[in-house]
Chain A
Amino acid sequence: MSDTANVMATIGPPDPGEPTSPTLTAPGDIAGRSPSGTSGIEGRTPFQLAWQRLRRDRVAMISLAVIVLIVLMAFLAPLAAVITGHPVNEQYRTTGLTPDGLPRGPSSEFWLGTDDLGRDILVRIAYGSRISLLVGVASTALTVVIGVVIGLAAGFLGGLVDTILARLIDVVLSVPFLLVAIALVSITGPSLIVTVLVIGFFSWASVARIVRGQVLSMREREFVEAARSLGSSNSRIMFVDILPNVLAPVIVYASLLIPVVIVVEATLSFLGLGLAPPTADWGGMISEAQNYYTTSWWFVVFPGGALLVTTLAFNLLGDGIRDAFDPRAERLMAK
């Protein structure tokens, strides 16, 4: 085994900090892989390249289409209420419940059945998508902003700032997230803002760690030296010169974080810490359905299916984005 280790030592791990500066892309390098096979007179940015690769990824494109549909559903939720004629919080105690007071299954009146209070599940799913998407995107955005700023500062400024921020990252990564999130929400009382803030404030550390690592390897490169010799300020170098170069892994991470956040939000709702009733929210709907799963399968299956399709679509798209930004993976697989 020792000879194995030596061989590995000489090869070493692949350099994750390969520069992807939009301005430094060599056209010759990409010409072979561009679909049109052009001579590559105009250099494409890594983002254009990634988009080209992503566009050829059928699974990712289908996922993107599904996500667009879900976004449309969120925007057009009131339309669902108009078409079915059932307002989101309206309880149909006579038509929507069986004589025993149980939810009614799918029918021409209630396409996806009703819940325990006789409300239309279809309309509530449509409204619930707003909460999931809003929390998913807002929390992820907050996470990325905090993580990028702290990661940039730690990696670029170094010294005492880096020591303190690196310890802070360690502390946040050691916090039992779900427990503390539940405790916080139970104190402040659930609301959309609290959910977004709690998720954002406990998730940035991973982003910060990725960015810090990238910046550390970027800091010593020639283009940073060049910027400095031109008299650029620290903040200009950080945000104008370095930031675009560390963005690719952040975008990949963020795209895969959205489904995680959507699940966390649904989990909080499921544990009774979601938005106050009667707000329609997928996790909350599944939580209510938990007591009826033996009699009313549709009550669990449709909100659960909506949640699953959403997270699956985001995960598949995130996977595609990761592959698109990492042409090395493609080469490895095509070996």
Chain B
Amino acid sequence: MVRFLIRRLALGILVLWLITVAVFGLFFVAPNNVARALAGRQATPETVAAISHRLGLDQPLWKQYLDFVGNALRGNLGFDYYHQVPVTTILGAALPITISLVLGAALIWLGLGVFNGVISATHPRSFTDRSLTAFSLFFYSTPTFLLGILLLYVLYFRLTLAGHTAFPAGGYAPFSGGLTGWANHLILPWFTLALVSAATYTRLTRASMLDVLGEDYIRTARSKGIRERRVVVRHGLRAALTPIVTQFGIDVGGLLGGVVVTETVFSLPGLGKTAIDAINQQDLPVIIGIVLFASAAVVVANILVDLAYAVLDPRVRLH
């Protein structure tokens, strides 16, 4: 167990290191005109050079990289090019927004997906099964940005026109400002993200439950006279949960690094939107900081998923 953790952590660090090299290399291979952009149109070459020097951009690439790694190891991800704000501060401001979005949506999609999947699997080939499959496939096929715009159109614009201002057009209200304002700003983004994601869980749950419900021990449980609901939930769902937990871990890990599209559509200044803005401004330290954080989230999620395997399925041995 400990050996497993050490091995996986080492691998994770290797992954993160490779990603820093890749992102760093990427941005410096391309012509970089941050200093020129900062200096403005009228700037003399001297001003541009001075700004380059201040940002450390005139240093050789390997030195910039070593400085970055050295600072990162001490918990300092550098400062953004435009306002000299520490990248960790920027990440710290954006992260609660992304977490609020992802966790809320995750609860909805997990509940919706697993519930629909179980219903589908216990009534295979029925009208309900087909309808739920069609429902989930429809949202699965909908691009996130399209669903976001449509929800905004119907539930914000149409509703507001009709005289019921139920939802805001976008933006974020911090949790500290009150629960209702926070939730109200997040309901549409939550459902946008959740509806698009739920389909995967409906289908996973359905397939996994169909496998499990065909097992002999389910028949045994039924023949012992256990109530059907208990057979399905306690005997069936628990055994069927493993692939769902895997998918859930991977999805949440991936999304914590920034929900680019949903945050953009609903103007939520989370990690995804911050990253897009930074990319448009070539704000390298911020981009690297977010990409690094996003990769770390994926790596950690993968380790947690493997640990969850061992908890859920006693047959799994970690090594």
Chain A interface (Cβ within 8 Å of chain B)?
Answer: 1-5, 7-9, 11, 14, 167, 170-171, 173-176, 178-180, 182-184, 186-188, 259, 263, 266-267, 270-272, 283, 286-287, 289-290, 293-294, 297, 300, 304, 307-308, 311-312, 315-316, 319, 329, 332-335
A-B pairs with the 5 shortest C-beta distances? Answer: A176-B294, A187-B30, A312-B141, A311-B141, A7-B217
* A interface footprint on B145-163 (CB within 8 Å = 1, 0 otherwise): 1100110110001000000
CB distance from B211 to the nearest CB of A (A): 7
**In the bound complex, how far is the Cα of B265 from the Cα of A283, in angstroms?**
13
Contacts of B30 in A (CB 8 A): 187-188
Could you pull out 29 A-B pairs where Cβ atoms are within 8 angstroms? Answer: A4-B217, A4-B235, A8-B217, A171-B18, A174-B298, A176-B257, A176-B258, A176-B294, A176-B298, A178-B261, A179-B260, A179-B291, A180-B23, A182-B275, A183-B26, A186-B279, A186-B280, A259-B141, A286-B146, A286-B149, A293-B152, A293-B153, A294-B153, A311-B141, A312-B141, A319-B137, A329-B207, A332-B211, A334-B125
**In the bound complex, how far is the Cα of B141 from the Cα of A171, in angstroms?**
28
Cross-interface CB contact of A312 among B12, B137, B265, B282, cutoff 8 Å = B137
- Cβ contact within 8 Å between B142 and A308: yes
**In the bound complex, how far is the Cα of B282 from the Cα of A170, in angstroms?**
28
The answer, yes or no, to whether B189 is at the interface (CB within 8 Å) is no
**In the bound complex, how far is the Cα of B216 from the Cα of A266, in angstroms?**
46
Please give the number of chain B residues whose Cβ is less than 8 angstroms from any Cβ of chain A in the complex: 61
Contacts of A11 in B (CB 8 A): 215-216
Contacts of A289 in B (CB 8 A): 149
Contacts of A1 in B (CB 8 A): 238
Q: Which of B11, B146, B235 has the most CB of A within 10 A?
A: B146
- Cβ contact within 8 Å between A183 and B23: yes
- Cβ contact within 8 Å between A307 and B302: no
Contacts of B18 in A (CB 8 A): 171
CB distance from A80 to the nearest CB of B (A): 22
Chain B interface (Cβ within 8 Å of chain A)?
Answer: 11-12, 14-15, 18-19, 23, 26-27, 30, 124-125, 137-138, 140-146, 149-150, 152-153, 157, 207, 210-211, 214-217, 220, 235, 238-239, 254, 257-258, 260-261, 264-265, 272, 275-276, 279-280, 282, 287, 290-291, 294-295, 298-299, 302, 313-315
- Cβ contact within 8 Å between B140 and A315: yes
**In the bound complex, how far is the Cα of B28 from the Cα of A187, in angstroms?**
10
Contacts of A180 in B (CB 8 A): 23, 291
Cross-interface CB contact of A179 among B141, B143, B210, B294, cutoff 8 Å = B294
- Cβ contact within 8 Å between B260 and A304: no
Cross-interface CB contact of A300 among B153, B207, B260, B298, cutoff 8 Å = B153
Q: Provided the pairs A175-B295, A176-B294, A304-B150 are in contact, do residues A315 and B217 lie with their beta carbons within 8 angstroms?
A: no
CB distance from A288 to the nearest CB of B (A): 12
Contacts of A307 in B (CB 8 A): 143, 146
Cross-interface CB contact of A174 among B15, B145, B210, cutoff 8 Å = B15
Contacts of B14 in A (CB 8 A): 167, 171
Name the residue on B nearest A289 (C-beta): B149
Contacts of B152 in A (CB 8 A): 293
Contacts of B149 in A (CB 8 A): 286, 289-290, 293, 300, 304
**In the bound complex, how far is the Cα of B299 from the Cα of A198, in angstroms?**
22
Cross-interface CB contact of B214 among A8, A297, A335, cutoff 8 Å = A335
- Cβ contact within 8 Å between B215 and A187: no
- Cβ contact within 8 Å between B214 and A184: no
